[in-house]
Amino acid sequence: MKKTLTKFEYFQYFYPYTVAIVGAKFEEKINFMSAAWHSPLSFSPPLFGVLISKKRFSHYIISNAKEFTVNFIPFNKVKISAQMGRKSGRDIDKVKTFKIKLLPAKVISSPILEDSYAALECRLIDIKTYGDHDLFVGEVVAVHQEEDAFAEENGVLNTKKIKPLLYLGSDMYITTDAKTLKHILPD
């Protein structure tokens, strides 16, 4: 029998989830934050959403920049996620403090992470409040990807080359095992 909870302290029953490092530049300030609450929203036009609490410095930066990047890093760069998630850009310059290497975006002004295997450049098109978070919706205007990170025939992540960073909640991380990959077709 399953236990049913109607009051709960943690809301992380849907993890593991890919970590995204979301960043933006407003005026001279660059800030990145770790986010587990993110999702593609549409193929046409290509839309991507990120949920951010109003109390986060990234909320302020993205709201004013009107753009953001979404960076996916491999498991061996897990420390970046912890650094971007546990320190506030209000208090420190995360890029300088943690020696984060950046690359210029091609379409927008906000940079991408050099360590990402995939990065999305997004123009902010909408912000809506849902509970204690705001959903930032961006139109994807460019995609960067590490060479051979995705299969050419179907766009699926090459798990023999890239071990994606997955978040389990409560500052715990995990990755995939390529030996468990199964391609299942319906009967």
Q: pLDDT by residue for the chain (187 residues), tens digit each?
A: 888 777 877 777 778 999 999 999 999 999 999 999 999 999 999 999 999 999 999 999 999 999 999 999 999 999 999 999 888 999 999 999 999 999 999 999 999 999 999 999 999 999 999 999 999 999 999 999 999 999 988 999 999 999 999 999 889 999 998 888 888 888 8
The Cα 92–Cα 49 span in angstroms is 26
Collapsed DSSP state (helix, strand, coil) of residue 96: helix
Q: What is the pLDDT of residue 139?
A: 98
Collapsed DSSP state (helix, strand, coil) of residue 100: coil
Encoded amino acid at 11, one letter: F
Q: Residue 59's Cα: distance from chain center in Å?
A: 14
Residues 6+ apart with CB under 8 A from 170: 10, 12
Q: What is the pLDDT of residue 1?
A: 85
Give the closest residue to 77 by CA, choosing from 35, 39, 114. Answer: 114
The Cα 146–Cα 169 span in angstroms is 27
Longest dimension (CA), the chain: 56
Question: Within 13 A of 156's CA, how many CA atoms are on the CB side?
Answer: 8
Q: What is the pLDDT of residue 13?
A: 79
Q: What is the pLDDT of residue 24?
A: 98
Collapsed DSSP state (helix, strand, coil) of residue 122: strand
**Whether the bond into 164 is cis, omega within 30 of 0:** no
The Cα 20–Cα 28 span in angstroms is 23
Q: What is the pLDDT of residue 9?
A: 79
Phi first, then psi, for residue 88 (nearest 5°) are -100, 140
